[in-house]
Structure 1
Amino acid sequence: MHPGDLFLNSPQLSIHPSLKNRTVFVTGGGSGIGAAIVAAFAAQGARVAFIDIAEGASAALAAQITEAGHAAPWWRACDVRDIDALQRAMADAATELGDFAVLVNNVASDDRHTLESVTPDYYDNRMAINERPALFAIQSVVPGMKRLGFGSVVNLGSTGWQTKGSGYPCYAIAKSSVNGLTRGLAVELGKDRIRINTVSPGWVMTERQVKLWLDDEGEKALHRNQCLPDKLMPEDIARMVLFLASDDAKMCTAQEFTVDAGWT
Structure 2
Amino acid sequence: MNNWASYPSLKNRVVLITGGGSGIGAEHVIQFCRQGARVGFIDYNSKVSNALVERLASVCAHAPEFLQADLRDVGQVETVIAEFAERVGDVEVLLNNAAHDERHRLEDVTPEYFDERIAFNLRHLVFCAKAVAPGMKRRGGGSIINFGSFSWRIGSAGLPIYLTAKAGIEGLTKGLARDLGADGIRVNCVVPGWIMTGRQLELWMDEEVKKRIIDMQCLKDLVQPSDVSRMALWLASDDSRMCTSQFFVVDGGWS
TMscore range, shorter length: over 0.9
1:108 alignment counterpart: 99
**Identical-residue share of aligned pairs (%):** 49
Distance 1:160 1:218 in 2: 15
2:32 alignment counterpart: 41
Q: 1:217 offset after TM fit, Å?
A: 3.0
1:256 paired with 2:247, answer: yes
**2:79 partner letter:** R
1:210 paired with 2:201, answer: yes
**2:15 partner letter:** V
* TM-score (structure 2 length as normaliser): 0.98
Runs of 4+ in 1 over 3 A off after TM superposition: none
Task: Please list, as runs of the form range in 1=range in 2, the aligned pairs for 1:143-222 lying within 5 A after superposition.
Answer: 143-222=134-213
Q: Secondary structure at the match of 2:91?
A: coil
Q: Residue 22 of structure 2 is aligned with which of 21, 31, 56?
A: 31
Q: Secondary structure at the match of 1:161?
A: helix
Q: Which runs of 5+ in 2 are unaligned?
A: none
Q: Secondary structure at the match of 2:26?
A: helix
Distance 2:39 2:243 in 1: 22
Task: Quickly say closer, same or farther: Cα 1:132–1:71, change in 2 above 3 A.
Answer: same
Q: Secondary structure at the match of 2:17?
A: strand
Distance 1:58 1:105 in 2: 17
2:132 alignment counterpart: 141
**2:55 partner letter:** Q
Q: Secondary structure at the match of 1:205?
A: coil
* TM-score (structure 1 length as normaliser): 0.94
Alignment RMSD (CA, Å): 1.1
Q: Which runs of 5+ in 1 are unaligned?
A: 1-9
Greater alpha carbon shift after TM alignment, 124-133 vs 66-75: 66-75
**2:8 partner letter:** P
1:65 paired with 2:56, answer: yes
Q: 1:13 offset after TM fit, Å?
A: 2.6
1:121-164 CA-to-partner distances (Å, cap 9, x unmatched) read 11111011001000000000000000000100000000011011
Distance 2:96 2:177 in 1: 15
Greater alpha carbon shift after TM alignment, 209-218 vs 145-154: 209-218
